[in-house]
Every structure is written in C-alpha cells, then in structure tokens.
Amino acid sequence: MYATMKHLMVPFTLLTLASCIRESSPDGPELGPGDRLPEFNVTLDDGSALGTSDLSGEVSVIVFFNTGCPDCRMELPVIQRIYEDFGTRTSVVCISREQKQSEIEAYWHENGFSVPYSAQEDRRVYGQFSRTGIPKVYVSGSDLTIHSVYDDDPVASYDDLAGDIQFLKN
C-alpha cells in the first residue's frame, strides 16, 4: 500500500507544481519596478468592479494566484494579514489565474479569508502583468507606478509588504 501511495504522490506533486509555473504567452510583458500598472478591469467577489483607474491616488497590492499552487497557499495568509492591517488605507486585491469562482470561494471559506478577490478562468488579466509564475505580488504607488514585485523566490513576507506600503504612504 505504501508503494502505491508513493507512486500516486509523484504525479499529484508534478500536477500541483505545474499550476504554478505553466507558461502561456512568452511574448507578453514582464512588468517590474518603475513600470506603470496596465489598464485592466475585473469583477470582485462582492460583485463590484475594480479597474486601474480605481487604484489611482492610493497604494495598491495586486496578487496573482491559484489555490492549487503551494507557494500561493503560503503567500495568501500573508496577504490576508496585510489586508487586515492596511486594507482601509490601501487597495489589496487577489486575482486568480485560471481558476473558477467556486473553487476560490471554497478555499476562502475554508481558510477564513476576507481579502477581496476576482476569479479569472483564463490568463487575460494575468497576461497583462506577467508571462510566467505565481504567486506574483505587485505593490504600486498612488501614481500607478509599480514599486515592488514579488514572486515565489522567495514569497513576499509580511515585513516586505508592510515596509513597501509604509514607504509609499510617506
């Protein structure tokens, strides 16, 4: 039985990791510090709309994720804490990469998350920011210029993100 479980774990692990790194558009942008946020519009889990213009004038944290990605599962509790501590003064939003609303809703409920999210079943929005890899965390200033980008090497810590937000607020 142990041998059977061991053989099943290898394909499962590879499949899970693929959700983090699978490429789709090698010709797309790879935005970094100093770049301006692209024009995008999403619908959040509460039904409200959020677009680039809504972020103008405030610091924002935009997170691309998929709940099947192990690194994303490590990052999301940090993002939840950032949202709890800074959410009234900073826009914090999670945008899925190729994941259904029902899956995200279940994961949010299971983990007690309240940070706003937008379920995207494709890579349309993600592709405006990056070509490959999740999690991707973009911290931008009130002028919509990206200040910091974090990915899975290493994932952003609470101190990293809090420091960026405080720097941009001053």
Residue 18 banded pLDDT, cuts 50, 70, 90: very low
Global pTM? 0.85
Q: Mean per-residue pLDDT for 31-38?
A: 97
For the ranges 82-86, 111-115, 143-147, 153-157, the lowest mean pLDDT is seen at 153-157
CB atoms near residue 77 (< 10 Å): 14
Q: Examine the pLDDT at 14 and tell me if it is beyond 70.
A: no
Give residues with Cβ within 8 angstroms of 20, minimum separation 6. Answer: 66, 69, 70, 71, 72, 133, 134, 152
Cα separation, 133 vs 53, whole angstroms: 26
DSSP label at residue 77: H
pLDDT in tens, 126-135: 999 999 999 9
Query: What's the average model confidence in pLDDT over 85-97?
Result: 96
Give the domains, in start order, of the chain with CATH numbers.
2-169 (3.40.30.10)
Average the pLDDT over 151-163 and give the result.
96
Residue 136: burial class (beta carbons within 10 Å; 0-12, 13-18, 19+): buried
* Reported confidence tier of residue 29, pLDDT bands at 50, 70, 90: confident
- Per residue in 37-77, pLDDT tens? 999 999 999 999 999 999 999 999 999 999 999 999 999 99
Instruction: Name the average pLDDT for the chain.
Output: 89
pLDDT > 70 fraction of the chain, expressed in percent and rounded: 84
What phi and psi values does residue 55 have, to the nearest 5 degrees? -90, -10
Tokens encoding 22: 């699978």
